């Protein structure tokens, strides 16, 4: 029985070591989202499928976006995040979409036909998520 007890102790030590190591790597990965990452990203604005503007995500600014149908949207870029502050569309779903900061994330105003997307200037590959085929 002494031998089995020793094996169990080794298994517990190994399990705890792996748990601590994986937790440490996870925390390091979260912290690793640095300002250098934000410096590479751009906010690309499209109206009716045509790119009309590209703004750096690292620079705080306010932009008035002219939609193709119902009016204007106000885009705010602040602290490495982009969001729609005001919109002339009836349902204002674009405002409710919140803030975006990761490559591939989008804000969409269907009535004004405005799409705001985060793109990485160094990596132009399309990001495929779990829903895409």
Give 20-79 pLDDT, tens digit per residue.
999 999 887 776 655 557 778 999 999 998 999 999 998 999 999 988 777 889 999 998
User: What are the DSSP E strand ranges found in the chain?
Assistant: 41-47, 50-56, 61-66, 72-78, 81-87, 106-109, 114-120
Pairing of strands 72-78, 50-56: unpaired
This prediction's pTM? 0.66
How far is it, in rounded angstroms, from Cα 52 to Cα 36? Answer: 25
C-alpha 108/C-alpha 97 separation (Å) is: 8
- pLDDT for position 131: 60
Give residue 85's pLDDT.
Answer: 94
Tell me what the mean pLDDT of segment 9-29 comes to: 91
Contact 118, 104 (CB under 8 A): yes
- Residue 6's pLDDT band (cuts 50, 70, 90): confident
CATH of 39-120, one of 2.60.40.60, 1.20.120.1200, 2.60.320.10, 3.30.2020.30: 2.60.320.10
Q: Which residues pair with 100 in a beta bridge?
A: 82
Cβ atoms of 101 and 82 within 8 Å: the answer is: yes
Q: What are the sequence ranges of the domains in the chain?
A: 1-32, 39-120
């Amino acid at each position: 029985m002494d031998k089995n007890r020793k094996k169990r102790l080794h298994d517990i030590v190994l399990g705890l070591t792996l748990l601590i190591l994986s937790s440490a790597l996870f925390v390091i990965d979260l912290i690793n989202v640095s300002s250098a990452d934000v410096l590479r990203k751009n906010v690309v604005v499209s109206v009716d499928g045509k790119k009309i503007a590209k703004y750096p995500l690292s620079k705080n600014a306010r932009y008035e976006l002219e939609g193709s149908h119902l009016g204007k949207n106000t885009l705010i870029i602040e602290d490495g995040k982009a969001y729609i502050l005001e919109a002339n569309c009836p349902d204002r779903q674009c405002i409710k979409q919140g803030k975006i900061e990761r490559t591939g994330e989008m804000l969409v105003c269907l009535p004004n036909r405005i799409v705001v997307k985060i793109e990485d200037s160094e990596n132009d590959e399309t990001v495929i998520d779990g829903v895409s085929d």
